Amino acid sequence: MVWICDKCNKEFASARECAKHEKNCNFVNEIKCKCKECGNVWHYLPEEENTIRSQAKNNALIGLGNLFTPTGAFFSNKSIDAQKELTKFSKCPKCGSANITKENHNFEKK
Ligand SMILES: [Zn+2]
Ligand SMILES: [Zn+2]
């Protein structure tokens, strides 16, 4: 079994070695998106997507429970913001097309 660094895809023989390496690894893993309609290119970090996804879900749940209170309204608005943010993971921010390609992109942080 080999262990692979999430950031630079380097292979290790043991989990311990891999974990040790990951702590010091200065590679960044990001998703590179390209719009097939207008040629726009943008990037985002996978962590960013996870954070916003869980945020959108939490906000929606809180908003639902407090729909008729000022707090509920506040969270509902928040959840709309998070929903908007989410579109950048599946749609072109420039022309709104969902006709996009995604690829993993690893690079060394300087
Ligand atoms: Zn690495
Ligand atoms: Zn586009």
Ligand nearest to the CA of 91: 2
What's the pTM value of the predicted model, to 2 decimals? 0.62
pLDDT band at 36 (very low <50, low <70, confident <90, very high): very high
**Distance from the alpha carbon of residue 27 to the mean position of ligand 2, in angstroms:** 28
For residues 86 and 64, give the distance between their C-alpha atoms in angstroms, rounded to a whole number.
Answer: 19
Helix (H) or strand (E) holding 22: helix 15-24
pLDDT in tens, 88-108: 788 998 999 999 999 988 888
Among 46, 77, 50, which Cα is nearest to 62's?
77
pLDDT band at 16 (very low <50, low <70, confident <90, very high): very high
Q: Which sign, positive or negative, has the C-alpha torsion 8, 13, 14, 20? A: negative
According to the model, what pLDDT value does residue 65 have? Answer: 63
Domain ranges of the chain: 3-108
**Distance from the alpha carbon of residue 28 to the mean position of ligand 1, in angstroms:** 9
- Of the two residues 97 and 70, the one the predictor is more confident about is 97
Name residues with Cβ closer than 5 Å to ligand 1, which is an ion.
5, 7-8, 10, 25
